[in-house]
Structure 1
């Protein structure tokens, strides 16, 4: 297969749908590995969540899974706040819905650390490997520090995180993934653009291109097979949270699924535009803030990176549908 993807994730509800989307295209795309990072849930739950999805798609023996970094490079703040959105286990606390959580699944976890696996797999699939990263960037930052040639072996890096207009979702100015490990963001944005194209699917882009509630209800209720039942059980609490606490949001935003869709189909992301950017590593109010250098003022700006003007929502929704039906 010409397209090979390594998925680096901190699997909460939106990562689950992103992974289901990826696996629904397994006849066309080779998923070379899933690498886990702490974030939306702790490492043990991230691992179990991914194993449950692999079992749901009958590919536990086909796709290797690796445990990675469980905390940020500089753990000034440690993730955990997402539990009120994603539940204690990262999957809205529905452990018994097929495929259920089970210690038996842990035998499928590889012994190699995710950081080392990223490096070795980039060599094995040199020139045709895309990495999609939808959690903290800790694994990627550690990997590129160990092997500075890593980016030159990739065909692209797709990241969900950060902002374009400094609209935060964990602080007034910072997005969750970038806030909890801004040092990893700095390292990733400093070194990966030297060797490969880096595409950022930022927080504001996703919330500006949501799926309307009527469509979401129809999507989740289309059938009663295992995937639809699982997705509905997973996302109903997520939807309820959104409706209760983000009352001005008129639909569902599965943040990480946008990054996966853009990586799989380059027509989903519209008008990629190149920018340099900066990330704040200090500060009391603004640590983790990511800002585009529109006026090219900073001599120390990171990048370049590509951001997208908009999302083709119809294409994106078709891919969400494929995640449950494909």
Structure 2
């Protein structure tokens, strides 16, 4: 059986790490590359975080590429401290002084274009951070989107409920122009796991405790990086998520990855055109759903709404129980 080819574009924080582990555990996925972008941390930290995750599962053969260090337009805003200053909870002391030697020299955007062009209509792109690399890819190669098989995005929102601003979700808020470009110009099948989708399909804190207490290297890694992070504490301060949706364990980026791995995880979705607001002083970065086709756009996306919690939970559990297995870097770079 032919494996599904995937490129993961990430700003590797704790939930990205969980999503990458999920992809590594999926037997039917071939990860062609991991491309890095600023977001949860500076892009240099993101690169190191990805290398750490791959190392946990002995999958260092997968090529990692450094990408955009700031948004498409304007100056880079300070990175989020949601997952700590380094993106992985500020608990890892084993700094690799030679990490740059392990990163491919080619820029992430160029690598993305090359790999997709060489495998047209075969590659699924899973975008877990700000969409800057994707926006640059379509600007460099206008035919890039039509060469993709499909695109999975964790980001945006569908009800104007924001987590970093009043109306916008983090990945879209830090680079609204790139989010706008991608959702206007990527005409391939596109699936959006919005902030509300993730929050509405939260798992229990009891499940989280079971997840991180498995006897496996990946589980121990996840337990360590979540150990001091308030976002992974049942007793944490009240967040916007709690106010809007109530408490629960949410591994945001894993929802987009799960949809890529197994489409049956998604039970319901809304098919409609969308647009990212860029001008509003209050709503900049908000994703607007056009259910009445007032925008007269020719392209609709699938905005995910309901998740099969049991299947999603199984994928999460498999991600931390996985045995270490190597993947050769031959033919990938």
* Aligned partner of 2:283 among 271, 280, 286: 286
* In structure 2, C-alpha distance between the alignment counterparts of 1:51 and 1:35, rounded to whole Å: 11
Cα offset for 1:51?
0.5
Match of 1:245 in 2: 238
Equivalent pair of 2:10/2:127 in contact (CA under 8 Å): yes
Equivalent pair of 1:168/1:174 in contact (CA under 8 Å): yes
* In structure 2, C-alpha distance between the alignment counterparts of 1:152 and 1:20, rounded to whole Å: 28
Aligned length in residues: 315
* In structure 2, C-alpha distance between the alignment counterparts of 1:44 and 1:263, rounded to whole Å: 27
Matched, 1:319 2:321: no
Normalised to the residue count of structure 2, the TM-score between the two structures is: 0.91
Match of 1:59 in 2: 59
In structure 2, stretches of 5+ residues that fail to align are 323-333
* 1:88-127 pair list within 5 angstroms: 88-96=85-93, 100-127=94-121
The superposition leaves residues 41-80 of structure 1 with CA deviations (integer Å, 9 ceiling, x where unpaired) of 00111000000011111121x2110000110011356142
Matched, 1:309 2:308: no
Normalised to the residue count of structure 1, the TM-score between the two structures is: 0.92
Equivalent pair of 2:70/2:76 in contact (CA under 8 Å): no
Match of 2:136 in 1: 142
Match of 2:190 in 1: 198
* In structure 2, C-alpha distance between the alignment counterparts of 1:50 and 1:183, rounded to whole Å: 26
In structure 1, stretches of 5+ residues that fail to align are none
Cα offset for 1:303?
3.6
Q: Bigger relative contact order, structure 1 or 2, given CA contacts below 8 A and separation 6+?
A: 2
Cα 1:287–1:198 change in 2 (3 A) is: same
Match of 1:263, SS state, is helix
* Aligned partner of 2:211 among 202, 207, 219: 219
Cα 1:242–1:7 change in 2 (3 A) is: farther
Runs of 4+ in 1 over 4 A off after TM superposition: none
Moved more, 198-207 or 227-236: 227-236
Cα 1:234–1:88 change in 2 (3 A) is: same
Match of 2:70, SS state, is coil
